[in-house]
Chain A
Amino acid sequence: MTPLHHKLLRDIRAQRAQFIAVIVTIFLGVTLFAASYDSYQNLAASYESTFTEFRFANVTMSGGDVAGFADVARQEPGVDSVELRTVGDVPLQMGGLKLLGRVVGMPPDAQPSVNQVRIADGSYLAASDTDTALAEEHMADHFKLAPGSTFEVLGPTGWQTMAVGGVASSPEYIWPARNRQELLTSPDNFAVVFVPERLAQVIVGTDGPNEAIVYYIDGVEDEALTDLLLAEAASRGATVSFARDDQPSNAALSEDLKGFEELALFFPMLFLAAAGMATYVMIGRLVHAQRPQIGVLLANGFTRRQVLSHYLGYGVIPGLIGAIPGAVAGVVLARVITGFYTEMLSVPSTLIRFYPATLLAGVAFGLVASILAAIGPALLASRIAPAEAMRGSAPAGRGRPSIVERIVPSLRRLPVPWRMALRGIERNPRRTLFTVLGVVLSLTLVLVSWGMLDTIVNLMDKQFVQIQQEDATVYFAGPVGTDDVLALQEVPGIAAAESVLQTPVVLVGDDRYESILTTFDSGTAMHRFFGDDGRERPLPDDGLLLGGAMKGILGVSAGDSVQLSVSGYATEARVAGFIDEPLGTAAYASRTYVETVVGATLPATSALIRYDEGAVVDEVRAGLVEMDGVAAFEDANALYDTAQKYMIFFYLFVGVMLLFGGAMAFALIFSAMSVNIAERTREVATLLAVGTERHQISRMITAENMMVALFGIPLGLGFGYLAAKQAMASFESDLFAFDLYIRPSTLVVSALAILVVALLSQWPGLRAIGHLDIAKIVKERSL
């Protein structure tokens, strides 16, 4: 170790508080990067591995001429396998619970060549099984099903008891979505069972398979082939067709992956920028304070390059100390996150790998950020003129009244300590700028995370409280008339019932879009519709109301016509307007309008009901489930409650981010304010010498620091809002409409929290005032 190395280490030890603050910020930034990026890589690899291992379909077609489609697909080069199967949504009964579940047909004895399942418990379906099913893992976990358990399924002949032969997880239901319009489901409302194909046809009531699934050679995506097959599916009357990317479960998982990718870039960038700023401020101060020492070094023959690398060392050391354990912690954390996540989602194949590149990149990011921050002050140090530096007379800045005093001259009549505070802000504009930036970055971090939480809470409220007005949905065993629906009102505890017809639909404009058409009574009290402008509008009798995303996809405006295909029947329909709904992109119409278009009276497939005030839900439910025609009952609150349960993860996430944001704010503001106080120790000592009380000095410094922090607050709120908006927009798709919503109280609390952090971060510096060696400082040459 050379003497310069000793100096470097001892200087760091002497200013350990500031260095620790920088190291912690770098550590957090690199940890976040490595944890989120490795989680992203692990999850993406797990999904990919699952898709390959279980031969997840590249293209799926439902409805229409699936057999003809399968024949064509088999001829296409690049296609490995095509399977035909039967899939249908049918009522299931578990214990006293009736729900609308899904039956998926599987070839007995051997796994299908496309969309295989992983048997987690029990055994695969055998040809001899006529009443045995595989329960999908989410369902099995929720209802505590194991091989030997039973449940009932509603077939054409009535309720049929089925035995659980095994528990299976499937690449199709890693995220248990019913369809693209219903990505969020509750285990009480949606469950999947796999049964032998012939049994599936019996239960669903079809003569043959109604779905074709295609797997490419090695599962490798081929965009041209996919386009060709989707076009073929459309021409053969598909009601639903999608590529692997758009498969409901996979689409939801992709949104999730995107979240990790965003996390891996956005948040670490914030932290490393903050660490860089703190390093810059800290080393800048060090160089300023060590001008005479630098002068002596240069005068004694040290080269400018040696001085440069010496001061770069003040960046390299905290960079390495923060980045290396940060990267290791991140990689370890990623394994925990991936394990927890894949287990929670029941991902059939979990791959947790060690990615050396992440480790190296994490260390490199931390190091680069701190070296970049050190370059400016280190260059300045290497360019100092030795004679001038040793004389110790740094160029004195010209004092002048502050900008605000010049704009508002009456401020010059403020007490001197206040004028001092005002001018202190402009005294070192760069440090003031960094303090402001510190506040801005911290608020941005807090608002992006908290904004995400507020948006989701608002989204849930909008969907489940403002838009959906029903208390429950009752599904019938078959189509029923409106009288049957009205009869439900006679059931004790039910205040109102309305008939609903839900059907898969294909809308064609400039492009085609597969969705669900829901038909309500005109003037429905069960569903509210809000336009793009946020204003409520009635359900019109002269056209369709379409989800906002369709405006761009179909290239249509209000008043235009679209082609509407339902179960192979196509007609023209008028677009009456567009609506803003957070979940899915659905189509709505009044019963009157649809009956006019099709020229027939529509049946109902389900009923929306509302309870009497004070009704006991369990009793109403029990009464309904007992009714003959009722096949399933879906509690509107179940999904909302499930979602609320998952909110704990968001609260946890926001809590962690608030902690991280607080730590970052503390580190940044602490660095800036420590330097602020360090730069004026001479003034403080002089003030103490002339009899100024410590608390008066603390008040002056606090006033100045808080004015700077306050200046950063509106900027931080504005920037944070924009960043949060950008972050939410990146999740926007036809599946979710994430319109950023931040509660005013969030803005207020965030701003106050940052101010409190700023106030606290001064504490060590202000405390140091009490320990100043006045006699020594007032005797020192000014720097």
Chain B
Amino acid sequence: MAVSLNSVWKTYGEGATAVHALAGVDAEIPSGEFTVILGPSGSGKTTMLNLIGGIDDVTSGDLFVEDLNLTGLTSDERTAYRRSTVGFVFQFFNLIPTLTALENVELVTSLTMGNGAERAAAVLEHVGLAERLDHFPAMLSGGEQQRVAIARALAKSPPVLLCDEPTGELDFETGRLILDLLRRVNREENQTVLLVTHNAAIGDMADRVLRLRSGSIVEDRHNANPIEAGELTW
């Protein structure tokens, strides 16, 4: 299993003001699966992604990613985990404005493989940005910026890719292109992809759809015949 959640609770606040963002969630996500997590605002989908990404702590329960139990890891251990195991794609790209596309990716590859300029360039080429290596974020379109962010996430070849509303800031056409790219890397690299969105239509391209409401999984559906991203409409 790539990801395994056993009775995972995440609670913010205490006593009467306590809010259960996740309330005893159980889920098993096999390696190489493209999973879409759906749900309205406040349903706990981003919390789940953050817990899997190791940028937040579970309150109780066990959470395994690639056989590593994240519960009780120290801050340094979580940092090492994030470096080796997961890649993030954010809604707002979160690129560093003073670095070029190549340098934004190289920043991550330099962490994991010393000077990773070649790897960074190769990944950017892979996402279709071979001509934009020396462009700064401000010179790129939203779609291009998100592709840089995906390249940054892919560059260290993480077994798990976590995408939080990756099309939220993009127009329809660009959004489909990004989804297509994510699906392609999922297939080519056999990476496990977890994609959080409130856009139910995107669920049609996933191998599996988890629907959350009020911190609990209310639907766990497998798509026998997922459609291609280019066929999506919303």
Contacts and interface: CB of A to CB of B under 8 A. Distances in A.
B119 interface: no
B136 interface: yes
Contacts of B73: none
Nearest to A775: B50
A396 B83 contact: no
Residue in B81, B90, B112 whose Cβ sees the most chain A Cβ within 10 Å: B90
B11 interface: no
A683 B96 CA distance: 6
Interface string A417-442: 10110011001000000000000000
B6 interface: no
B97 A686 contact: no
B139 interface: yes
Given A416-B107, A782-B92, A691 B82 contact: yes
Given A416-B103, A690-B108, A692-B111, A396 B79 contact: no
Interface residues of A, number: 34
B97 A397 contact: yes
Contact of B139 (A398, A427, A694): A398
Contact of A420 (B82, B96, B108): B96
B220 interface: no
B188 interface: no
Contact of A398 (B46, B79, B111, B136): B136
Interface string B147-170: 000001100100000001000000
A102 interface: no
Interface string A690-701: 111110100000
A688 B90 contact: no
Contacts of A398: 136, 138-139
A759 interface: no
A645 interface: no
B58 to A, nearest CB: 13
Interface string B64-90: 000000000001100111111001101
Given A396-B97, A399-B139, A686-B94, A775 B110 contact: no
Interface of A is mostly: helix
A152 B85 CA distance: 97
A198 interface: no
A202 interface: no
Given A416-B99, A416-B106, A399 B88 contact: no
B56 A424 contact: no
Contacts of B93: 782
Given A399-B97, A683-B96, A691-B111, A779 B91 contact: yes
A400 interface: yes
Nearest to B97: A399
A696 B111 CA distance: 10
A696 B139 CA distance: 28
B53 A689 contact: yes
Interface in B85-134: 87-88, 90-94, 96-100, 103, 106-108, 110-112, 115
A779 B46 contact: yes
Nearest to A700: B107
A100 B112 CA distance: 83
B82 A690 contact: yes
Interface string B183-227: 000000000000000000000000000000000000000000000
A223 interface: no
A775 B108 CA distance: 19
A452 to B, nearest CB: 43
B39 interface: no
B137 interface: yes
Closest 8 CB pairs of A and B: A691-B83, A399-B136, A423-B98, A691-B82, A775-B50, A686-B94, A774-B55, A396-B138
Given A420-B103, A774-B55, A774-B56, 10 more contacts: A416-B99, A419-B103, A420-B107, A423-B99, A682-B94, A686-B96, A689-B53, A691-B112, A693-B79, A775-B56
11 contacts: A396-B137, A399-B100, A399-B137, A416-B106, A419-B99, A689-B53, A692-B79, A778-B88, A778-B164, A779-B92, A779-B164
Interface of A: 396-400, 415-417, 419-420, 423-424, 427, 682-683, 685-694, 696, 770, 774-775, 778-782
